[in-house]
Structures are given as C-alpha cells and as structure tokens.
Structure 1
Amino acid sequence: MSNYIFFTLGKQVPRSFGSCDLRKNFFNFFFVFVFFLPFSLFSQVSREFNNPEQISDNIKTVLFHRNGWPMSYPVIGLGTGQKLFLSFDELGTDIKSYYYSVEMCDKEWEPSELMRTEYADGDQMIPVENFRRSFNTTFDYVHYELVFPNENIDLLLSGNYVLKVFEGFKRENPVLVKRFMVNEQRVSVEADVKYTMQSSGRSNFQEIDFEVHYPGLSIMDPGTEVSVTLMQNGRTDNAITGLPPLFFGNDRMDFNYNREVIMEGGNEFRWVDLRSFRFQSDHISDITFYDPFYHADVFTDQHQGDKPYYYHKDFNGRYYIEVQEEQDPEVSADYAFVHFSLDWMPPVGGREVYLTGGLTNWLLIDGNKMEYDFDQNLYTLTLLLKQGYYNYQYLVVDDNDARGSVLPVEGSFGRTENDYLILVYYRPAGGRYDRLIGAEVVNSVNP
C-alpha cells in the first residue's frame, strides 16, 4: 500500500505521509475513496474540448492522416520518419498560391508559449507545390496535396500542433486549420473497453479502463504532471480531457475509474455509396443529372432507438474517395448534391440534429445542422460530396450544450464497435510545454 499515491475528491493525499501513516489512515481514506469518489471526481473531469479546426466554405474533401494509412488518426512518432498526408479540393479552376505552416499548442489546444525555433526547424511558410485540376467533371476543382515533415520543415518536440493553410502571406486568414499530434511513445497503454458497471446504463454505454506503464521514465508527481485525453472515433464534442490517474506507483498509473469514464456505445454507422453516378447503391433512391450538376437522394433514414443491435462492418465515421468507372479518383471523381432526410420527432426545447462523421469534418456548425421541413415532416440537409464511400450518423444536441448524443436517433449499445484514442500528456514541474508521451488506439471489439 505504501508504494501508491491515491487521490480522493480530486485532491492528492499529502506525500509527506510515511508508510506507517498511510497504513494507519488507510481505513478512513478507503471509506472516503469508495463512497465519495464515484460521485465527485467525474464532475471534475472536463468534457469541454477546444477544437481549433476550421475549413472555408470553398474547401472540400479534406483528408488528413498518417502517410500511407488513410484510416488513421493524424498522429506521428517523434523522430521516427513517419509523415502526415493532407489533401483537399478547392472549387473552381483558379490555382492559388497556397502556403502552410505549423504551430504548437498545449494539451487544451491553446497556443504554446514556446518560440517557434524551440519546436520546429525549417521555413515558417512552405508552398503547397503539388496540385492538379479536375478533368471530365461537372464541378471544376483544384486538388491539392502535401506531405510533411519534409526537407523544408521538421518537428523537434512532441505534443499538440495545428497545420494552417493560407493564400499568399495571409497567415492570419487561413482557409484550412487541422489538428495533429506528435508522440514520443515513452509509455505503454493497456486498455479494456467493456460494459459499464452502472446497471441503469449497462446496455447503452461503454466503460474504458486502462493503465499506463512508464518504466525508465522519471515522473516525480504523476498526479499533477500527467493527464489523459480520451476520444471516441473522430468526435471531439464528447472528448474527456484532463483525466488524472486514480493512483500510481511501481512505474504504473491506474485509470480504472469504473463508473466515471464512460461513453455512449452508439450504433454502427450508416453509410452512403456514391462511387458511381450510373448505378445507384442500395441506400440511394435516385441519382439525377439536373444540368449542370448531379443530385443524389438518400433513402429517408429512420430512427433506430427502438431496434435491436445489428453489427455490420463500418469505418467508424470515416470515408474514402473512389470512382468505379475511373482510375484517378483524386481528380476524376465528380461532386454531387447529396440530399439526406430523417424521419424523427419535430424539434422541441431548442434541440438540434446534426449529421456527423468525416463527411462533415465532425464539426457541429450551422452548415451541418438538419433543418426540419414541416411540409414533409422530415429533417433535411444537402451536402456537396465527392464520389466515394461515406459513413455518417445523426447527433442530437440540446440547447446550450456543446456535447451531442447519438442515443435518441441511432440508439446506443454496449456491444457497438468503436475506436478510442488515448492521449497521455506530461508536463513536469517548471515545464513550459505539454509532452505527448503516449498515444494508443484501442478498439472495443478487437483490443
């Protein structure tokens, strides 16, 4: 028992306790720990996530991932030679003089206090030199790509970063801002996703228990120097941040919170197949060419909250670009106006419905919000999408709440297959930036 430092009610037990004092006070502490911690600590774990991402209206189909791994998170290892790949389209035929830069952030995605020369080596503004115009498409667009780090820029420290793309030298007015992470991988994470222990939500929620092992890494006070962010699939609205270890010792930190670190299991993602405008898939009711553009009508979606769980393979909200009749989808894939509709109860009490997933960049903004059509008694939304295969879900957000819920429309099941990204941050006493010492993806079905 003396090898561990415990937390109670969000405060550390004084480290001046000797082993005898710990044993003598253990039973009093254990009563507080067991009976009060589940009700108090959860309220201190932040669920607010500062998301600095932004995308201009004319920028479409933004893909950002580890180079060579299209379905990955934008996370690379420090000093490993791994690179990130960014691609996007801009509608129109004009080729812009785009540049990009990187900026470091803290664990809360606020700008770092470090000078740029401390975390990056190379040019401050690098031109985007790889671009091509579309061909044989109804929508004209220019496709841009970049891969970094490269000979123009290298990253020196681990942590959170943002990539900014801007025209000319207008750094203060970016057309695209995306988050990414650089990981030291100094720790290992052992995680287990299971049904929550709460009987009332056992069938709807998933509990994420994990331990962080840090042999060879000297951390003086993990309770105040280490915090964890937990993300489900690509969502940021329901991220859990600022999570401290419950207790630690013997080069191990325990995050088995039981009732506190839980998320809706949700349901498997819906899908829409737009890889061909000649042959419609089973979820497309009609594809029509209204000169000069294509329009695709998706069959009206029904709420699934009262239906049993059914597993089907998905991409956990991601998408990929492909054209069945062409060989070069980056510039030969066309765009279409895709019309979504949802049959569900009318809006009440300020509640809003959003279409979420990679196709809307996971952003809860007005452009991704469903509008209720009282004539059709349906929620509707039209998106301009490039040919490909897309996952999506419907997210319900109550008035004045930044966090959404998939349960009302999609249903929620503890057996659903989800990815969880676990990010371990470390800032020692006196440190000036948050190191990312661990990044691990765990799957609820295939850990």
Structure 2
Amino acid sequence: MTKKITSIFMWLTIAVLSALAQPITNTVHKHKIKTVLCHKLGWPLSYPIIGLNGNDQIELSFDDLDGETKDFYYNIIHCDKNWEPSQLMETEYLNGINEVPILDYVYSFNTSIDYVHYNIVLPNNDIELLVSGNYIIQVYEDNDTNNLVLTQRFMVNEQKVNVIPSVKYTMNSDLRKAKQEIDLTIKHSDFNFSNPLEEVNVSLFQNGRTDNAITKLKPQFIKHNELVYNYNRETMFEGGNEFRWLDIRSLRFQSSKIKDISFHDPYYHVELFPDMSVAGRSYYFNNDFNGRYVIEVQEKDEHEREADYVYVHFSIPSQPLAGGDVHILGGLTNWKLDEASKMKYNFDFKQYEASLLLKQGFYNYQIAFKPNNLDQASVSMFEGSHSKAENDYLVIVYYRGMGDYYDRLIGVSQVNSVTSRQ
C-alpha cells in the first residue's frame, strides 16, 4: 500500500510539474552541496549520455560540506525535449523502486574542511531505464521530495540514425573570422519518418554550455533517407578562444598563475595573478578541457575524499561595464550565469573580482559578458572570438512520431571544430 501511495504521489508531482511547464535545470538547492559531477562512468570529461539497454552507466557525485551523513534519496524523472516532465507514467520509463536511499558515501580524510562524498551509479539493481530521452536525477533529503538537494540532467540514447556533423567557416565574410558554423546530415536508412518537419527536432550545444544552445532545428532539405541541415546564421556559434586554466592540484607548490597561497582557518586561500583580456590578440592553439575540470591532488591517492576545498580569488582589470554583468563561465560555476558566477567591480583596483570555493583539481574557465536583456553571454569582450578556435559540439536528435506521447532520443554525435574543419 505504501509503495502504491508513493507511486501515486510521484505521478501527481510530475503532473503538477508538467502543468507548470518549467524546464528542469542542473540546479543545486543547498549551499553546502559542492562539486556536482555527472558523466559516463569511467569518463570524467564525457557528457552524461548512455545508450539504451547498453553496458554504460551514468555516475553522479557530489560533496556535502556539512560533514555529517544525511538521509539523502534520489528518484528519476523522464522529460520531453524541453526538459519539462513528460507524460509517461513512472512504470512506463523505469523498472524498480523510484525512491532510493544514497548509501554509497565516504568521509573526507585529512582535509581542513570535513565533507561527505556521495556517489550514484545508474542504471543499477534498484532502477532499470526502459525508454530513451531526457532524464532528471532528483536528490532530496529525509525522503521528502519538497526538500530538494539538487537536480541533474542526463540522457539515454537509442542511436537509430547516423548523425554526421561538420564545422565550417561561414560564407558570411563579415563573420568569417569570428564565427563557427555547424552543418549536419542525418542518414536514416533503417528508420522511417512520416513527416520529418514535425517529428524531428535537433539541438546543438557548444562545449558544456546551455545559454547559447541552438534548439528546435528543422531539416532544410529532405532527401531519400537523408535530412540535411545546411543553414547559415541559424547554426552559427561564437568561436571564442581557448579556455584559461587553473591548477590547484597542489597547495605546496604554486603554479605560474598563482600569486599567493595562504591559510586562514578553516580555508586555504589561493590568490591568482590578474587575468588579462586577450581580445584583439592573435589566436594561438592550446590544449584544454573546453571548460570542464577534473578533481585531483598531486600528493595524495584518493582524490575524491582527500582533495581539500580552497577559496580561489579571481580578478580581471577593466573599466566598469554598463548594461550587463561579467561572469566566470565553465564547469566550475556549473555553466550558470547567476549570482554565484558573477564578478563584482572593485573601483579601488579598477577590476572585476570573484571568489569561488573549489575542490582541488585542474579547471578551465572563460570570462564572459551577459547583457541585461539577454539570457546568453558572449566571451568576445575578454577572450576575443576566432573561427579557428577549438571547440566541442554536441548534436542531439529527438523524435516524436504520430501518436507518440514522449520524445525519443534517436541520435547523438560529437564533433570537434579542429579535427572536422571544412
């Protein structure tokens, strides 16, 4: 009876969320929750995408800086292509008990700040995923779904079609030096569409960003067993530049970007040399993680529980900018353009500043400007923008046929702007 009541409650929760029609985003709801990572198990720099009925698993991990174990639970919500809860009932998208306590955790060891590291791997003995599409892992406390801890997106793919993307220089001469254009062809010899203009939706993502994502693309040309997307302005991205780097894997030895390391109980503080604007400079290739990060400690072995938390102080000289805000952009700020990533202007030192509490590791980031009237940021003001820049692009293909009531994920492809250049 209890399980039935829980299932009904979950269905009512999803129904309410659907009525509100708000996309569910990667969000941390508790300020003591840090370093939320979600990726394919064994591939820390990968996108959180696995195949349906395959052997791959999704790994979600996070730290709780309260330092004491808590009764954390998680459940899974299936979503449509817009990341709003789908119309599927729980029994239609998973087998198992969709209310699972998180029992995989370890305490930090020999760190200045105590924390508990939690880990979830999906699918598992408790949950089997039955359909493709967008999913949310919802972590909550004390078995109360209203007491949310975090929400995290991941995807399950059927790979029914062959997605062939390419990155090219735009034909627009005014934008050729700064923009990257994505063209793609979807080959579907083993998958039939009745009306591709209505049934197929394509989304494009640059690195890990969502603010500049291009969504709901329709095919420009429909050929025999092929859908062709050969747009111009509709599929252009700012090329940007290579990401800046931050190495805090050691607190004993200072990397070239670190000005000073000090300890003020209970935190280490790392002051960086000021970042300088590179807009207007020539482009130089540099290997990077395209905005991602890895947790690592040079002098220790168990990085997940032995890495310390450090306050890192960023700055970049600039005149005060009107009409928008300056943000630190990358995985270290969860790719969010919010208060946590916003830099504040220091009129005494004539620079933008921000302090972030980060776990030891190697990080990538960029400095971006977000106009007040837009949800999308631009890196060109501080980083410049080059069509030659190295970026990763992710192509997602959704399908909803006539009579279907959920969006299937039928194709995924990644392409690199350097290795696929046309």
Query: What is the TM-score of this pair, normalised by structure 2?
Result: 0.93
2:63 to 65, 68, 89: 89
Q: Which runs of 5+ in 2 are unaligned?
A: 1-21
- Residue in structure 1 matched with residue 318 of structure 2 by the alignment: 344
- The aligned amino acid for 1:412 is S
2:390 to 410, 417, 439: 417
Other structure's SS at 2:91 match: helix
Counterparts of 1:358 and 1:241, CA distance in 2: 21
Q: Deviations over 1:360-386 (max 9, x none)?
A: 110111111001111111100000001
Say yes or no: does 1:287 pair with 2:261. Answer: yes
2:400 to 417, 427, 437: 427
| Preserved contact between residue 24 and residue 151 of structure 2 (Cα < 8 Å) | no
- Residue in structure 2 matched with residue 446 of structure 1 by the alignment: 419
Counterparts of 1:202 and 1:51, CA distance in 2: 35
Deviation above 6 Å: which 4+ runs of structure 1? none
- The aligned amino acid for 2:419 is N
- Residue in structure 2 matched with residue 164 of structure 1 by the alignment: 138
- The aligned amino acid for 2:357 is L
Alpha-carbon shift at residue 181 of structure 1 (Å) = 0.6
1:304 to 259, 269, 278: 278
Counterparts of 2:112 and 2:335, CA distance in 1: 27
- Taking the TM superposition and a 5 Å limit, the aligned residue runs for 1:225-374 are 225-349=199-323, 351-374=324-347
Counterparts of 1:352 and 1:437, CA distance in 2: 38
Other structure's SS at 2:144 match: coil
- Residue in structure 2 matched with residue 148 of structure 1 by the alignment: 122
| Preserved contact between residue 51 and residue 236 of structure 1 (Cα < 8 Å) | no
Q: Which runs of 5+ in 1 are unaligned?
A: 1-48
- Taking the TM superposition and a 5 Å limit, the aligned residue runs for 1:110-149 are 110-149=84-123
- The aligned amino acid for 2:363 is Y
Other structure's SS at 1:223 match: helix
Other structure's SS at 1:355 match: strand
| Preserved contact between residue 223 and residue 247 of structure 1 (Cα < 8 Å) | no
Alpha-carbon shift at residue 258 of structure 1 (Å) = 2.7
Say yes or no: does 1:109 pair with 2:109. Answer: no
Say yes or no: does 1:403 pair with 2:376. Answer: yes
Other structure's SS at 1:302 match: coil
Counterparts of 1:418 and 1:141, CA distance in 2: 34
Alpha-carbon shift at residue 51 of structure 1 (Å) = 5.5
| Preserved contact between residue 315 and residue 351 of structure 2 (Cα < 8 Å) | yes
Other structure's SS at 1:409 match: helix
Counterparts of 1:50 and 1:400, CA distance in 2: 20
- Superposed CA RMSD: 1.1
| Preserved contact between residue 24 and residue 84 of structure 2 (Cα < 8 Å) | no
Counterparts of 2:258 and 2:166, CA distance in 1: 38
- The aligned amino acid for 1:441 is Q
Other structure's SS at 2:290 match: coil
| Preserved contact between residue 197 and residue 259 of structure 1 (Cα < 8 Å) | no
The structure that has the greater radius of gyration is 1
Other structure's SS at 1:181 match: strand
| Preserved contact between residue 332 and residue 363 of structure 2 (Cα < 8 Å) | yes
Counterparts of 1:192 and 1:73, CA distance in 2: 19
Alpha-carbon shift at residue 76 of structure 1 (Å) = 0.4
Other structure's SS at 2:233 match: coil
Counterparts of 1:379 and 1:322, CA distance in 2: 28
| Preserved contact between residue 268 and residue 314 of structure 1 (Cα < 8 Å) | yes
Counterparts of 1:214 and 1:292, CA distance in 2: 58
| Preserved contact between residue 276 and residue 323 of structure 1 (Cα < 8 Å) | yes
| Preserved contact between residue 419 and residue 443 of structure 1 (Cα < 8 Å) | yes
Other structure's SS at 2:156 match: strand
Counterparts of 1:374 and 1:242, CA distance in 2: 43
**Kindly, what percent of the aligned residue pairs are identical?**
51
Counterparts of 2:144 and 2:382, CA distance in 1: 42
- Residue in structure 1 matched with residue 353 of structure 2 by the alignment: 380
- The aligned amino acid for 2:219 is P
- The aligned amino acid for 2:103 is E
Alpha-carbon shift at residue 57 of structure 1 (Å) = 1.3
Alpha-carbon shift at residue 159 of structure 1 (Å) = 0.5
Other structure's SS at 1:260 match: helix
Other structure's SS at 2:145 match: coil
Counterparts of 1:395 and 1:420, CA distance in 2: 19
Other structure's SS at 1:408 match: helix
Alpha-carbon shift at residue 50 of structure 1 (Å) = 4.4
